[in-house]
Amino acid sequence: MSGVARLLLSRGVAVSGSDAVESASVRLLRELGAHVFLGHDPTNLPDDEVTVVISTAIRQDNPELVAARERRLPVMVRAEALAALMANHRAVCIAGSAGKTSTTSMLTVALQHTGFDPSYAIGGELIASGTSAHLGTGDVFVAEADESDGTFVAFSPEIAVVTNVGADHLNYYGTKEAYAAAFDKFAARIQKGGVLIVCADDPGAAELGQRVASTGAAVRRYGRKATAAGDATLTAFQPELGHGRVHMTYRDRAFELKLQVLGEHMAFNALGAFLAGVAVGASPEDVVAGLAAYDGVRRRFELKGRIGGVSVYDDYAHHPVKVAAQLRAARQLTAARGRLIVAFQPHLYSRTLEFVREFGTALALADEVVVLDVYGAREDPIPGVNGGLIAKAVPLPPERVHYVPERSEVPSVLAGLASSGDIIITMGAGDITALGSELLDQLARKGRPS
């Protein structure tokens, strides 16, 4: 939502709005000229005729939304507003159950380094620029297409990337089949003459590619299983300390890319961004060079600090596939004597209930696991559903799994577990991100003589 507001402000549009609490995003929007209220109240709506843009994460009884409908003001969801901002641009939209933020960010940075100045809207802040959205001077618009509420069918891209199609957001879709069908609707929105880019190693994305290709539409693939001439084939991935070296082939040519981010899953994302960059019109060599400059997105394995030999990271992973991928990647950084400690905050009661076993299996990739209670966001509690369900599902010895329902107690628990050489990751889509600084304070106090 803040990205849409930023883009509108860049176009000279008057913007006002509200948020629940003060934040860096709120302060930035105020600096850019937006009028931002704290708290939701009907009096926050301007008196004149305005268009109201809403996040689908808010409840239908939100007092401002209720007032807007009573006044018969135009109301549109975020994706519809973003689609309108893309008009008269060559749109590149990146969707998928996981990896879409990183892939969108990689493509944006790569195009910036190839001489393009794309507009972009990303579900996270680029570390290099500190922003999630920008109105560029070029005709390319790169956007993350969020499938969580089905509204990504509002986009009509020239180029679409689908990183994977698993199962998520079943509180909205109901079934895995309905979730997968939404990606067919998204792919059907690709402009005539456009291209769909899919990960050949993900079964759901690969099947989507087959269905779209059967209609005669252009499909490009990436990954180890991508073997056609126009595909990007991952031939080798070499993990290095804090980095990764990617070997790939494209149209019978070999390329080597050194990524500044961890994990083989990031190598796959880079190949998807590579194909999209080439499809836009950049040269393969320039895209490879641009991808090497990508240094990450905030809350995607973001280093918060190091105290007493303990490294503290923060990550947004909130689905079992994402949790497992990031924990595998983090293993690169653990020294021979260091351990991997994760503090995980489940996001949404419905997702917790749906994926209890999968979360337990993914978290077991760490040496010590701390599970917080559920961050409910827009959902009401489900009786009996809490973080303890996930803690019980982690197949590790009981003494290495800790259910800590009181969020305020988590930093001291983590500091008590930590030793020099360890890596601690605070993980989840909720307010656990704020615990990193508190944990660093606890570690500093732990290291001081009494």
Query: Residues with catalytic annotation?
Result: 100-101, 144
C-alpha distances out from residue 335 to 221, 330, 444, Å: 36, 11, 21
List of E strands, 86-211: 90-95, 119-121, 133-134, 140-144, 159-162, 195-199
C-alpha distances out from residue 276 to 71, 91, 134, 291, Å: 43, 11, 19, 12
Q: How far apart, in whole angstroms, are the C-alpha atoms of residue 265 and residue 88?
A: 33
For residues 372 and 346, is the Cβ–Cβ distance under 8 A?
Answer: yes
Q: Which residue blocks in 170-227 are alpha helix, DSSP H?
A: 170-173, 176-188, 203-213
Nearest Cα to Cα of residue 97 among 190, 170, 2, 3: 170
- Cα pseudo-dihedral 115, 117, 118, 119, rounded to 10: 170
Q: Both ends of the chain: CA-CA distance in Å?
A: 47
Amino acid at 432: I
